[in-house]
Amino acid sequence: MLGETIRLLIIVFGVLIVALSTAAGLIWLERRLLGLWQDRYGPNRVGPFGLLQVLADMIKVFAKEDWTPPFADAVVFVVAPAVIIVSVAMSFTIIPFAPGTAVVDLDIGVLFFLGMSSFGAYSVALAGWASDNKYSLLGGLRAAAQMISYEVFMGLSLMGVVMQAGSFNLSTIVEAQRNLWFCVPQILGLIVFAQAGVAETRRVPFDLPEAESELVAGYHSEYSGMKFGMFFVGEYLGITLISALMTTLFFGGWMGPVLPPIVWFSLKTLLLICVFVLLRASLPRLRFDQLMAYGWKVMLPLALLNLVVTGGILIATG
């Protein structure tokens, strides 16, 4: 009994620490990879390969003045950055990193993730509203519209996977991929989910809520110090989360030969994270109407098509 409790505690804190340090490491990784793809170096001065840049950035952000503007709605202003971290960190609880290694083995895992990612939309919308700044408000509005509409088919795109595996439980979904990873039969679902995931984490090319070239910094224009840092960490946590989920749902999770399960899981997740950065390195930002039209006129029909075809095949084959 005690051993079980300790095991659970180790998993809980292990997941939390690994997720947060991955998010911190991503700050460095992203800048180095962007450098690599833009024929330059990126941060390479602080420590070996510039690895200590993260530490330097952290010291800097902690030492900054933590300022709440007098015109802001103080309570909401402070709560908003916490919400994004909480919602993303909660989603990490359902991810099975290895057989039997998840914080909770929820039978409604996929639904829980979708719920939490909707919860995350509050953070951005509230941050934009509480700042009482027109650019922030515009960013917050865009974020709300974008996240709510992309959530619709993010959920739909996962239903194909759920139908094939016959469960919302992520461990069961991974087990169902023992013979064939879902990225093959559910290729449409993967395509839609990947793009919805990028939109959900507000990354380039769907970074309209931030859009530094038009909206200063969008919903977090007024944030400074560690409150800004939390939005930043939240974004990188989100990338890690979406990559981990894509690994779990479409790329066989911990499955793989020779190497231990946790290593396979980390490798696949890391690779997907690099794809996120590659997208940022190569694509320009969409216009707002393009974003909406693309979502509702292309992605939603694709997700529905995937749903119908998967359902039809499943019924036909019994």
Partner 1 sequence: MLSVLQTIWGVFLHMFRRRVTVQYPEQQVYHPPRFRGRIILSRDPDGGERCVACYLCSVTCPVDCIALQATEDEHGRRYPAFFRINFSRCIF
Q: Does 290 bind partner 1 (CB under 8 A)?
A: no
In whole angstroms, give the CA distance from residue 224 to residue 220: 8
For partner 1, the binding residue among 278, 288, 292, 296 (CB under 8 A) is 278
Cis peptide before 205 (omega within 30 of 0): yes
Kindly determine how many residues on this chain lie close enough to bind partner 1 according to the rule CB under 8 A.
12
Cα-based distances in Å from 131 to 62, 154, 215, 225, 256: 21, 29, 13, 15, 47
Q: Token pair of 196, please?
A: 């919805």
> Looking at beta carbons only, is 82 or 275 nearer to partner 1?
275
Closest of 13, 193, 18, 173 to residue 109, by C-alpha: 173
Collapsed DSSP state (helix, strand, coil) of residue 101: strand
In the complex, least distance from residue 233 CB atom to partner 1, rounded to whole angstroms: 26
Q: Does 279 bind partner 1 (CB under 8 A)?
A: yes
In whole angstroms, give the CA distance from residue 318 to residue 312: 10
Binding range to partner 1, per CB under 8 A, among 89-97, 149-157, 180-188, 280-288: 280-288
Per-residue contact track with partner 1, 87 to 106, x per CB under 8 A? --------------------
In whole angstroms, give the CA distance from residue 135 to residue 277: 26
In the complex, least distance from residue 43 CB atom to partner 1, rounded to whole angstroms: 12
> Looking at beta carbons only, is 21 or 38 nearer to partner 1?
38
Binding range to partner 1, per CB under 8 A, among 18-26, 54-62, 243-251, 278-286: 278-286
Q: Does 283 bind partner 1 (CB under 8 A)?
A: yes
- Binders of partner 1 among 15-44, rule CB under 8 A? 35-41
Sequence-distant contacts of 31-37: CB under 8 A, at least 24 apart: 33/274, 33/277, 33/278, 33/281, 34/277, 34/280, 34/281, 37/277, 37/278, 37/281, 37/282
Q: Does 4 bind partner 1 (CB under 8 A)?
A: no
Q: Does 49 bind partner 1 (CB under 8 A)?
A: no
In whole angstroms, give the CA distance from residue 206 to residue 127: 18
Which amino acid appears at position 75 of this protein?
V
Binding range to partner 1, per CB under 8 A, among 10-18, 90-98, 169-177, 274-282: 274-282
In whole angstroms, give the CA distance from residue 232 to residue 124: 12
In the complex, least distance from residue 49 CB atom to partner 1, rounded to whole angstroms: 13
In the complex, least distance from residue 301 CB atom to partner 1, rounded to whole angstroms: 14
In the complex, least distance from residue 294 CB atom to partner 1, rounded to whole angstroms: 10
> Looking at beta carbons only, is 13 or 41 nearer to partner 1?
41
Closest of 233, 208, 219 to residue 88, by C-alpha: 233
Residue 18 DSSP one-character state: H
> Looking at beta carbons only, is 32 or 220 nearer to partner 1?
32
Residues that bind partner 1 (CB under 8 A): 35-41, 278-279, 281-283
